[in-house]
Structure 1
Amino acid sequence: MHSQEWAQLKDALDRANYWLLVPVLGLLLASHWLRALRWKQLIDSMGYNTSRINCFLGVMIGYFVNLGAPRLGEVVKCTILARYEKVPADKLVGTIVAERAFDVVCLVIVFGLTFFFQYDVIHTLTSGKLDALFRTASGQTSYIKILMLLAVAAVLFFIGRWFLNKFSHIGPVGKVRNIIINIWHGLTSVKGVKNKPLFFFYTIGIWCLYLFSTWFGFFAIGATSHLTIIDALSVLAMGSVGMIVSPGGIGAYPLLIQKTVSFYNVPAIPFGLALGWLLWFGQFLSFVLFGTISFILLPRINKKLHYQIIAHEGPADHPNENI
């Protein structure tokens, strides 16, 4: 960016209402708590009885570690729970696969909802080219084209499936096949969860809280305060991609948010980029703040529980299950 654009960005950030990060942090913290409860359900379905607080602290420490070493956080949180809850780490890895599988499905659903609710925006961006796929020359809906597209999609699906099975011995092909298989196994592992409606409630709740935290962030900048919660769907979708493609979302997340809100007549520079960095900072702050606190609390809480067990001679299985 030019020096003038940097000055505009700094001015936009200086004018932002940072107090609105407080409810954003609260919503993000609630989403992390629901994620911990969902993880506990998956672990308990294997016959273990883990504590809620240890699951939550493990989740937060995992997020914190991911900021510096992407994906290592998943290993760390499994190691933590294996140490304090005596659950085999290799079994915990399977629950991580299940969690990621449901997150992938939820992200696809978010993109689908974005397409449904933001069709007018997508239509504008594609200059009507999208309509050509589904309409005749006279402008009427072409059901034949729709059926043909579905048929092509089905054929591509079966060809892709055959290709992955036939050439799975080739390195890259085998890796893609294993990823798909792991996602499927993760999705089907929910069969062992006792309270399935609660599991799906947690899953929906996590993404709803992500959505509301994004929407609240809009009000921190005057130029984006008019955006609606429906607009937040597209921001959430693209922001999630940004968090995936770069460590901690740094760089990619603000850039994708900037591009997305520019579709709603928000000046990309400075306000779109300012919003992107503000929303990213909110997530970064939640990981650092709650992750650091979790590092401090984890050994202290478990040490206290250990002494309580000795003092009261509690049952050996897990007296802290309801914490």
Structure 2
Amino acid sequence: MEKKKFIKLLKIILPLALGVFLVWYSYTSTSEEDRQKIYRYIREADYFWVAISLFMGLLSHISRAYRWSFLLEPMGYKVKFLNNLMAVSIAYFANLGIPRSGEVLRATTLSSYEEVPFQKAFGTIVAERVIDFIMLFLLIGIALSLQTDTILDFLMEKGFNFKSLLILAGAGLVGLFIFVKFIRKSSHPIALKLKTFVNGLLEGVVSIFKMKKRWAFLFHTFFIWGMYVFMFWIIKFSVPEVSELNFGIMLVAFIAGAFAMSASNGGIGWYPIAIATIFSAYGISKASGDAFGWIMWISQTLLVVFLGVLSFLFIPIYNRNK
């Protein structure tokens, strides 16, 4: 039991510690001149565009909360919109401290205040995550089609070989095929759990197309991800050197940032580094790339903290009769 607690503790501490280390490393590896430039870019940024970005972030939260009701209604649960919104906000806030804890807390919050069984609430969140992964891979495909040459050149410059990448991708697909065949035929307890989990995910995805309001669900899905992309894109107008970059380049940087967000608690440390690395491939200075990354990360993190704390305080008051 003690070993399990220790492993859980490591899962919480290590990503946060790595993020803090990267912040320190980024600071110490930047020259004094570049640090002054970064501070100046942040200080002199046009915060009108940052405010619009924050508004788009708020709209994505609202849309996600509203979309959630489409998954709950077919099971017979009519949930108050504000409870949905506060549960979503609390989940984002919790993920800043403990990665992936937000999904559990979101289902628990709804179960506490709307009497939706935890398993059912969590099942709808899993279905949402599957759709979100599909949307992310769709954006990756669009980015690759728009910036194929630059991405390949960048990978080769970093030591990746195109033929090796193809061989690796082919080997991965073959390995995945063998793994799936093995899981299907195996009766091992772990294989059975994986099979049940995958079937649950597939059932969640298929259930979306059985909803009465499936078109509204799809509209909100595209709206949410549209807000994600455009709240990132519009920040470019706050940093002069970045403002001329086209949509394709910004989309590549957005995807790099999305992966950085999952690498540590809320992307701390990783996010500005990932953005600056992508921008450097397009001739943008490290100072401008870092400034953009920090402006984007700080503004959205403050929004998540503000909405999360407000929801923690207000949700028991709003549901005081329960």
How many Å separate the matches in 2 of 1:256 and 1:182?
A: 33
Q: Is the 8 A contact 1:261 1:272 kept in 2?
A: yes
Q: Is the 8 A contact 2:152 2:162 kept in 1?
A: no
* 2:153 partner letter: T
Could you state the TM-score of these two structures normalised by the residue count of structure 2? 0.80
Whether contact under 8 Å (1:215, 1:228) holds in the other structure is no
Give, as a single letter, the amino acid of the residue that structure 2 aligns with 1:20. Answer: W
* Equivalence for 1:229: 247
Partner in structure 1 of residue 302 of structure 2:
285
Superposition pairs of residues 191-202 of structure 1, within 5 angstroms: 191-202=209-220
* Pairing partner for 1:265 from 271, 283, 301: 283
Write the mapping of 1:12-161 to structure 2, written as runs, cut at 5 A: 12-126=41-155, 157-161=176-180
Would the alpha carbon gap of residues 170 and 90 (structure 1) be closer, same or farther in structure 2, given more than 3 Å must change? closer
* Structure 1 gaps, min length 5: 134-145, 308-323
**1:261-310, CA deviations, whole angstroms, 9 ceiling, x for partnerless residues?**
1122111x21111111111112201101111222233233334xx59xxx
Provide Cα deviations, 1:3-26, integer angstroms capped at 9, x if missing partner: 423333223322222332211110
Displacement of 1:30 in angstroms is: 0.4
Give per-residue Cα distances to partners, 1:27-47, cap 9 Å, x unaligned. 000011111111111111211
Larger radius of gyration: 1
Identity rate, percent: 33
Aligned-partner Cα distance in 1 for 2:277–2:192: 35
Contact 2:261 2:268 in 1 (8 A): yes
Unmatched 5+ stretches in structure 2: 1-28
SS at match of 1:125: helix
Match of 2:183 in 1: 164
Could you report, residue by residue, the CA deviation over 1:141-190 in whole angstroms, capped at 9, with x for unpaired residues? xxxxx9x999988755532321333567386x777666644432332231
Q: CA deviation at 1:111?
A: 0.5
Judged with a 3 Å threshold, the aligned counterparts in structure 2 of structure 1 residues 167 and 274 are, in CA distance, closer, same or farther, namely farther
Shift of 1:118: 1.4
State the distance in 1 between where 2:36 and 2:193 align: 46
TM-score (norm 1): 0.80
Q: 1:43 to 1:122 in 2, by over 3 A?
A: same
Cα distance, 1:255 vs. partner?
Answer: 1.2
Q: Which consecutive aligned stretches of 4+ in structure 1 deviate over 6 angstroms post-superposition?
A: 128-133, 148-154, 173-176
Contact 2:261 2:267 in 1 (8 A): yes
In 2, Cα distance between the equivalents of 1:14 and 1:295?
31
Structure-2 separation of matches of 1:13 and 1:116 = 32
Q: Report SS of the residue matched to 2:116.
A: coil
Moved more, 253-262 or 108-117: 253-262
1:212 counterpart SS class: helix
Structure 2: how far apart are the matches of 1:2 and 1:174?
Answer: 50
Distance 1:259 1:154 in 2: 28
Answer yes or no: is the 8 Å Cα contact 2:156–2:162 preserved in 1. no
1: distance between equivalents of 2:160 and 2:90? 44
Give the match for residue 240 of structure 1. 258
Between the aligned partners of 1:176 and 1:223, the Cα distance in structure 2 is 48
Report how far residue 225 of structure 1 moved: 0.7
Amino acid at match of 2:223: G
Give, in whole Å, the separation in 1 of the partners of 2:188 and 2:86.
Answer: 40
**Letter aligned with residue 222 of structure 2:** I
SS state at 1:210 partner: helix
Q: In the TM superposition, what are the counterparts of 1:172-183 in structure 2 within 5 Å?
A: 180-183=198-201
Aligned to 2:206: 188
- Measured after TM superposition, the shift of residue 87 of structure 1 is 0.9
Cα distance in 2 between the residues matched to 1:162 and 1:118: 35
Instruction: For residue 70 of structure 1, give the secondary structure of its aligned residue in structure 2.
Output: coil
